Amino acid sequence: MARKKVITRQQILDAAYDLVAQEGFQKFTARNIAQHMACSTQPIYLEFRNMDELKEAVFDRIHDYLGEEIFTKAITGDNVVDMGLNYIYFAKHENKLYKALYLEDYGGGERMHSFSYTMFSQRARKDEHYANLPEDVINRLHTGTWITVTGLASLMSSNIIHPTQEQMIAIIQDSIGTILDKEEAVGA
C-alpha cells in the first residue's frame, strides 16, 4: 500500500513564507524550511522541482498579499498618498518581511521594484487626480514618491523618527506636488 502524503504543498509554501517573513531570504534553503517544519527535505523536493520553483511560489503569494491586503487600503481617498502610507505601515509593522523584499541582496530587488511600479501605476490610473497623466509623468511620480516613502519607512522602522499620520500625508503630498508642479512648469 502506498504511503499517504503527510506534508502538503500548501504546508511547505506556508512554512517557506513564514521563514522569509521571520528570517529573510538569506535563510531560504530546503534545510532551513524543513527544520522550520520539523521534517526532512524530502517532502519539499517531492512537491517542488527545486528551490527556485518554491521561491517563485513564495513570491506569487507575497505579490497576492501585498496587492490584495496591503497596497490597496483606502486611507485618505488619494490612491498615490494611500499607497505610500500603506508601504510605510507595511515596513513598520512587518519589518523583517519588508527588509527581505526591498532591502536584502537575497530578496526581490528589481522584481519588487517592478511589482511596486505596476501596482502604483494601476492605482494612480484609478484616481481622477492622476488618471490622465502621461506614462513618463507616472514614472517620475512613482520614483519621487518611492524615494520619499522609502526614506520615511526606513527611518520609522528603525525607530529614528515618529511622525504622525498627518505629518506623513503632508510629506507625501509635498513630494507629489513638487513633481506635478515641475511637470506643469516644463509643459508651460
Q: In three state form, how does the secondary structure of the chain look? A: CCCCCCCCHHHHHHHHHHHHHHHCHHHCCHHHHHHHHCCCCHHHHHHCCCHHHHHHHHHHHHHHHHHHHHCCCCCCCCHHHHHHHHHHHHHHHCHHHHHHHHCCCCCCCHHHHHHHHHHHHHHHHCCCCCCCCCHHHHHHHHHHHHHHHHHHHHHHHCCCCCCCHHHHHHHHHHHHHHHHHHHHHHHC
Look at residue 99 and tell me if it is in a domain: yes
Hunting for cell 503527510 — which residue is that? 6
Q: How does residue 188 score in pLDDT terms, banded at 50, 70 and 90?
A: very low
Look at residue 147 and tell me if it is in a domain: yes
Nearest residue to 91 (alpha-carbon basis) of 160, 174, 40? 160
How many domains does the chain divide into? 2
Q: Quick one: 53 and 78 in the same domain?
A: no
Q: Quick one: 79 and 33 in the same domain?
A: no
Q: What is the pLDDT of residues 104-119, one digit of tens each?
A: 877 777 888 899 999 9
Q: Quick one: 170 and 82 in the same domain?
A: yes
Domain of residue 96 covers 71-187
Confidence at residue 113, expressed as pLDDT on a 0 to 100 scale:
87
Look at residue 63 and tell me if it is in a domain: no
Look at residue 64 and tell me if it is in a domain: no
Q: Quick one: 133 and 157 in the same domain?
A: yes
Q: What is the pLDDT of residues 23-81, one digit of tens each?
A: 989 899 999 999 999 999 999 999 999 999 999 999 999 999 999 999 999 999 999 99
Q: Quick one: 125 and 167 in the same domain?
A: yes
Domain CATH code at residue 48: 1.10.10.60
Q: Quick one: 89 and 157 in the same domain?
A: yes
